[in-house]
Every structure is written in structure tokens, then in C-alpha cells.
Amino acid sequence: MTEKLKNIGLVAHTGAGKTSIAEAMLFKAGVTTRLGKVEEGNTVMDFEPEELKRRASISTSFHRFSWKKSDIQIMDTPGDQNFFSDTRFCLQGADSALVVIDAVDGIKVQTELAWDLASSLHMPCCIFINKLDRERSDFSKVLKEATDIFQPKPVVAQLPIGKELDFKGVVDLVRMKAFLYDDTGKATMADIPDDMRDQAETEREAFIENMAEADDSLLERYLEGQIPTDEEIHAALKKGILERKFAPVLCGSAAKLAGIDLLMDFILDCMPAPTDLPARKAVHAVSGAETDIPPDPAAPFSALVIKTISDPYAGRLTVLRVVSGTLAGDGNFFNVTKDTKERFNGLLLITGKEQKPVKEAGPGTIVAMAKLKETMTGDTLCDESRKVRFDALPIPNALITYAVVPKAKGDEEKIMSSLAKLLEEDPALRLDRNAETKEILLAGMGQVHIEMAIEKMRRKNNVNVLLNLPKVPYRETIKKKVRVQGKHKKQTGGHGQFGDCWVAFEPRGRGEGFEFVDAIVGGVVPRQYIPAVEKGIIEACEKGVLAGFPTVDFRATLDFGSFHPVDSSEMAFKIAGSLAFKKGIADAQPVLLEPIMKVIVTSPDDCTGDIMGDLNARRGRVLGMDSKGRNQLITAHVPLAEIQTYAPDLNSMTGGRGVYEMEFAHYDEMPAQLAQKIIDKAKAEAEEA
């Protein structure tokens, strides 16, 4: 039943213990008979060979299990920046987020980004401080970090008993009881230890005050001295979480199974079910009007596709979150995004690497279908009687691009088809064939992202490739105005060829492109030949005079010429236009342009100096710096040639704590000394060809 379903996404930086918590939940619920461990490569949630090799999640995995007569549906998301786009897509299918924090390492940048993502989705959150049994773990320090950084405010709901290797259990501030765990993870309820009684009383009072803020009537009674019951506290907790007034903080150790049963109880008691949530916003496909879609099982069906999986046995699996209505075992629906009908045959519940058939799926359910023809990640599916579209989060800009080079000749088409399948599964990958350089280009969120895609392609399709840095798409332009004659005259035995044109070439503003102006008067060049002159210039500008790069941002004005009544033709004037271009551009002070990228780096404050120094060394220009919590956002313009492999360098500078976004900004003139090296190299390659 929908009201007994809790659909929660686990988010955090890599290494915080999301997968370990998921494995502990499955073990506690009796789904598995032994606790899966990331270090041993025997987890249910991480099962791809690439994940087992890296000991980290690279793709969101799903599971659903029963706990105390209710269902908990979990999604274990990647925390690495290389694969965070998958977290973005999949978290749109969750009703709430469990933000995991490592008690040793504290809050890292990707955890903050995950929190920001949940906030942008207006998603209720709770926090679990994990690994309290480890050396150097510090609950108080991490709690202070979270309080300083996160909004809505974190509210302590549990306290740890003992520190580091002496960690024994947790104090539940709702029941004011201690839960002590043995080596098997079995809990024993006991009185709060004497040495923690004062701390627990103080934290309990602060906890109750926060709960009262979420419920006016509870606040009035509390101010009058009445002590709320456990049921009233749970109701206030649930209300405050749903309205995002606070985020409760729980704690424990997934490796020791300590606090996991209390976490699961908390999810059932306090985190929202699909029916608790407000209606989801959608746009009517016909009228364009905004409409509310409540999670009503009896309403027309609607769903958002959050993931596509390439399964070796079932083929392409489409994973979707049902927003409204109830899907039966087979039938038809409408894909609003693609404006087409789709037929499905059978529903599948994803449980780790396995799929189990189910008869129906209602609001809140994450369910998969096999072999849909047109549907991809981000699409909206609905009943034809109510065509609506949900706004899926946009695909982030790619940060790094590699040229994919086949190891064996003739494998180009095989590579393209194999990569196309990977793109179905991972929309954050971009595939392109550059007509200018003839390169196959694969772009992604980082070097590891690209390498994992290539490794997966090799494993699944037996295609081996090399990765090279792609050629930088330089451009050429001019800096001064010139006027030249382009004349083509050739006499043969029969008709000759004659085309004569005078063209003025002048620079335009950066990014304004090419403009052709017809300024002929008096018919000195007949009307039918003028387009041929323009075509000749356009074709010639594809290979500039400096290094063979396209010439951009200039105006060509045809203002005079002559013709022969017999020997002139379109071809002759096209050649004349081409000759005018080559002669004129060479005299118009041609220069080389390079692509400039806008880069936004998010990093801890203590790394700012190193990052800004590095950006300057890359010929970058820092545009500004803003604070974001305890991090700094540095915005800069940097030449693409200097930042093609920035991801590993930033990782090294910040110890894995820095992330960045990048997008194309504009073209700018290249320094003459560096430009000459590019020109010399291009000429040498042309001579060898």
C-alpha cells in the first residue's frame, strides 16, 4: 500500500558508507543471510565489475524490502563527482534523502552538493553520522560542521555512547533510552549511562524545543510545562521533516550494525510516504498550464523515467518512478517527451542486480520495464487521457573530452554503435564525430567517468580503443580591413572561364560570425553570379590561411567586378571569390583564436590560494570569488588547451575535496608566441600528409 511505502535515497561523498548502510539494512531485514562488505566485494548493491574493482558505487542501485509490516525502498547513489549525474537523475524518484556523513572525514564537497540537490528538489532530509567505531571519529565535530553548513538546521535525535573503539551504542532522545550493541549487531535496551545522563537531558530539552517549533499546539503545551508523549513527538518530527523545518541527526556504525535497526524504525515512523507529500508540479502538454499531480492511486497514470539500464539478459531496462495512478502488468501509455505511444509487457521490481516480476505499481513505486523502444532517462510517461510533463533536471555540462581511437582498423562503426548503447544508459556521456578533425569524441564528467565507460564497452562489446586528448578547435579571424581583387581567367580550346570580383574584407565582433554584403551597382557583376562569389568565400573560409582552421567573425562586401558575356559562369565566379578570400585574409592581419571556457571551482577555503595560482599559471583570468558555506566558489575564464585534463590536477590539489563545472564561454585571440607554435605544427602536419 502506498501509505506504507517509504522511498528514500542515500546520498553522500564517496566513502561515507552509503552502500554499507544499505547492506546493513538488507541484512537486518533478513533479505541477506550475511552482511555484504564493500572491502570484500560481496555486496548486493554494488555488483558491476567496475564497482567491485574500485570499491565504490558508479551507478545507482535499487532494492525494496519489508520491515515491520511496511516497505522501504532504497536507492544507493554514487558520491563521486564523475558519476554524480546519475545521482541527480535518480534522486528525482525518491521521496526523501538520507544524507550520510563519515564521522572521521566529516563533510566533503560532494556531500554538500548532494544536500543542495535535495534542497533544490524540496526533499525532506535526515542525517546519519556513520563510522563512529573508527579511530579519530568525532560526533561533536561533525555535528558542528553540519550545523554550520546545512539548512534546514540539523537537530540531534540520537547521541553516541562511547567514542572510537569504545563506541557501544546510541541514546534515543525520543524514548530517553540507551541501545547497546554486541559484536553481532544485536541491540539491548537499557537505561542511559550515568556519565551521559546530564548531556542526554540537555540535548533532550533542545530536541523537544525544536519539535515544538513544528507544532503550535505542542509549543503552547510545552511552554505551560506539559511533557509531550512519544506519539506527539513522532507526529511533530514527521511534520517538521516534511515541511523542511529541520533535519534530524541519527548516528551509528553500519560495519557494526549499530543503530541500523533504529534508523529503519525512524524511516518508518518519521520519514514521509508518497501520500504525505504535496502534489508534484507538472505542465499540461497541450495547454502549457502548470498543474498539480497528487499521489492518487486511482488517478490517471503518470511517471518520470529516472534511469536506463543495459541488462545482459533483459536488454534495455527503463526505470521509472510512478507519480500517480496504478500500472497493471501490461498495456500502453504515452511518452509525452517523445510524443509517441509505448507498449509495455510486464513490470519488474529491481532488487540489486536481480529483477522480480510484480503485478502492479502505484504512486511512489520504483519499477522497471524491459525493451521500451523510444523511452529514455528524463522522459515523462502518462495516460493518454491526461497528457502532462514533469520537468526533469537538466543534464550537466561535460567537463572533459577524449578522442576515441580504435586499436584495430575498421572498428569505427562498431565503436560508434557500442558507445551509443552506453549513452542510453548514461545521459551524462556525450558522443560526437568532429567533421573538422575526423575524430570520434567522447565527453563526460571526468577522466574516471570516461575510463569506466571505455572499460564497460570493452567488457560488454569486446571493443578495444585508445584515448587521446582531442585536437583543440582553434579558429582564425582578421584584425584590419582590406579590399582585394579576385580574378579567375582561363582560356582553353572552346569556351574559357572568366570571373572577376572586388571584395572588401573587414573584422566583425567576436562571435558575430560571417556576413556577406552585396554592394554591386550597375550590373557590373550579373545577379546570377553574386551567390557564387559568396559560396566561394564560404567554402574557402573552412580552411584558414594561417593553420587551416575555419575563419570566423568577418564581413565580405562584394562591391565591384567584371564579366565576360561568353566565358563567365557560376563556377568561374566561385573560384574568383575563393581567390579573393585567400588573398584578402592574408593581408588583413590574420590571427589565431582559441576557445575560452568558463570554469567554476568549488573547494575548501584552505585550497583557494593554490587553485587561483594554478588557474593563473594556465593563462586563466579569475573573474571573482564567492563564499558558499565553508567553501569558496572561484569563477575564471581559462583557455581550453590549458584545462583539458583539469579534473585529476584539481583532485590532487584539494585531496579530492574540490569539484568544478565548465562550459564554453567565447573565443579569444591567442598570444602570438603560442599561436606561432600551433601554426608551425599545423604546417608540418600538412606537409607530411
Q: pLDDT for 575-625, tens place per residue?
A: 999 999 999 999 999 999 999 999 999 988 888 999 999 999 999 999 999
Report, as an integer, the average pLDDT of 220-244: 84
Phi, psi dihedrals of residue 164, rounded to the nearest 5°: 50, -125
Residue 569, C-beta contacts closer than 8 angstroms, at least 6 positions apart:
497, 499, 529
- pLDDT of 143: 96
- pLDDT of 209: 85
User: Residue 594 is placed in which grid cell?
Assistant: 582559441
Which one-letter amino acid corresponds to residue 204? R
Phi, psi dihedrals of residue 584, rounded to the nearest 5°: -70, -45
Closest CA to 581 of 528, 544, 529, 532: 544
Same topology between domain 2-276 and domain 400-468: no
Give yes or no for residue 222 having a pLDDT over 80.
no
**DSSP conformation letters of 401-446:** EEEEEESSTT-HHHHHHHHHHHHHH-TT-EEEE-TTT--EEEEESS
3-class secondary structure, 55 = coil
Give yes or no for residue 655 having a pLDDT over 90.
no
Do 95 and 273 form a contact (C-beta atoms < 8 A)?
A: yes
Give yes or no for residue 519 having a pLDDT over 90.
yes
- Which region among 14-18, 230-234, 326-330, 510-514 has the lowest average model confidence (pLDDT)? 230-234
- pLDDT of 625: 93
Residue 164, C-beta contacts closer than 8 angstroms, at least 6 positions apart:
132, 133, 134, 135, 136, 137
Beta bridge partners of 332: 343
Residue 485, C-beta contacts closer than 8 angstroms, at least 6 positions apart:
500, 501, 502, 580, 583
- Which region among 23-37, 353-367, 381-395, 643-657 has the lowest average model confidence (pLDDT)? 643-657
Q: At what angle do helices 84-91 and 109-120 cross, to 10 degrees?
A: 20
For residue 1, what pLDDT band results from cuts at 50, 70 and 90? Answer: low
The tens digit of pLDDT for each residue in 328-359 reads 878 899 999 999 999 998 899 999 988 999 99
For residue 642, what pLDDT band results from cuts at 50, 70 and 90? Answer: very high
- Which region among 116-130, 394-408, 517-531 has the lowest average model confidence (pLDDT)? 394-408
Do 296 and 283 form a contact (C-beta atoms < 8 A)?
A: no
Residues across the chain: 689
In whole angstroms, give the CA distance from residue 418 to residue 429: 13
Q: At what angle do helices 230-242 and 197-213 cross, to 10 degrees?
A: 60
> Does 318 or 224 have the greater pLDDT score?
318
How distant, in Å, are the alpha carbons of 259, 449, 463 from that of 457?
40, 12, 6
Give yes or no for residue 225 having a pLDDT over 80.
no
- pLDDT of 493: 65
The residue assigned the cell 509549543 is 219
3-class secondary structure, 640 = helix
Do 604 and 657 form a contact (C-beta atoms < 8 A)?
A: yes
Q: At what angle do helices 18-28 and 260-270 cross, to 10 degrees?
A: 90
CA angle 35, 39, 41 (to 5 degrees): 75
**Which of the residue ranges 107-116, 278-287, 501-510 has the most confident prediction, judged by mean pLDDT?**
501-510
**Average pLDDT over all residues of the chain:** 91
In whole angstroms, give the CA distance from residue 12 to residue 19: 10
3-class secondary structure, 212 = helix
Q: Residue 611 burial (CB < 10 Å; 0-12/13-18/19+)?
A: buried
Instruction: Give the right CATH number for 280-389 from 2.40.30.10, 2.60.120.560, 3.40.1350.10, 1.10.1040.10.
Output: 2.40.30.10
Do 319 and 368 form a contact (C-beta atoms < 8 A)?
A: yes
Report, as an integer, the average pLDDT of 248-255: 96
For residue 457, what pLDDT band results from cuts at 50, 70 and 90? Answer: confident
Long-range contacts of 173-182 (CB under 8 A, 24+ apart): 173/200, 173/203, 173/204, 173/207, 174/207, 174/230, 174/233, 174/234, 174/237, 175/230, 176/200, 176/204, 179/259, 179/262, 181/256, 181/257, 181/258, 181/259
**Sequence ranges of the domains in the chain:** 2-276, 280-389, 400-468, 476-588, 593-673
User: Residue 616 is placed in which grid cell?
Assistant: 593563473
Proportion of the chain above pLDDT 70, given as a percent = 99
Q: Tell me the fold of 476-588.
A: Ribosomal Protein S5; domain 2 (3.30.230)
Q: Tell me the fold of 400-468.
A: Alpha-Beta Plaits (3.30.70)
In whole angstroms, give the CA distance from residue 176 to residue 379: 47
User: Residue 476 is placed in which grid cell?
Assistant: 582564425
In whole angstroms, give the CA distance from residue 121 to residue 7: 15
CA angle 110, 113, 114 (to 5 degrees): 90
Q: Give the helix, strand, coil percentages of the chain, each rounded to 5.
A: 30, 35, 35
In whole angstroms, give the CA distance from residue 316 to residue 579: 54
- pLDDT of 190: 94
For residue 689, what pLDDT band results from cuts at 50, 70 and 90? Answer: low
Identify the helix (H) or strand (E) that includes residue 651. Answer: helix 646-654
Proportion of the chain above pLDDT 90, given as a percent = 67
CA angle 364, 98, 322 (to 5 degrees): 10
Q: How many CA atoms lie less than 13 Å away from 647 in the CB half-sphere?
A: 20
For residue 56, what pLDDT band results from cuts at 50, 70 and 90? Answer: confident
In whole angstroms, give the CA distance from residue 185 to residue 183: 6
Q: What is the separation of C-alpha 370 from the centre of its chain, rounded to a whole number of angstroms?
A: 24
Closest CA to 87 of 121, 66, 117, 67: 117
Which one-letter amino acid corresponds to residue 303? A
User: Residue 11 is placed in which grid cell?
Assistant: 546520498
Which one-letter amino acid corresponds to residue 230? D
CB atoms within 10 A of CB 514: 16
The residue assigned the cell 534511469 is 307
For residue 371, what pLDDT band results from cuts at 50, 70 and 90? Answer: confident
Do 478 and 589 form a contact (C-beta atoms < 8 A)?
A: yes
Closest CA to 361 of 402, 318, 392, 390: 318
Q: Tell me the fold of 2-276.
A: Rossmann fold (3.40.50)
Give yes or no for residue 297 having a pLDDT over 70.
yes
- pLDDT of 62: 96
- pLDDT of 463: 83
CATH of the domain spanning 593-673: 3.30.70.240
In whole angstroms, give the CA distance from residue 207 to residue 154: 10
- pLDDT of 658: 84
Q: Residue 180 burial (CB < 10 Å; 0-12/13-18/19+)?
A: middle
How distant, in Å, are the alpha carbons of 173, 246, 409 from that of 155?
11, 6, 61
Residue 55, C-beta contacts closer than 8 angstroms, at least 6 positions apart:
38, 39, 41, 46
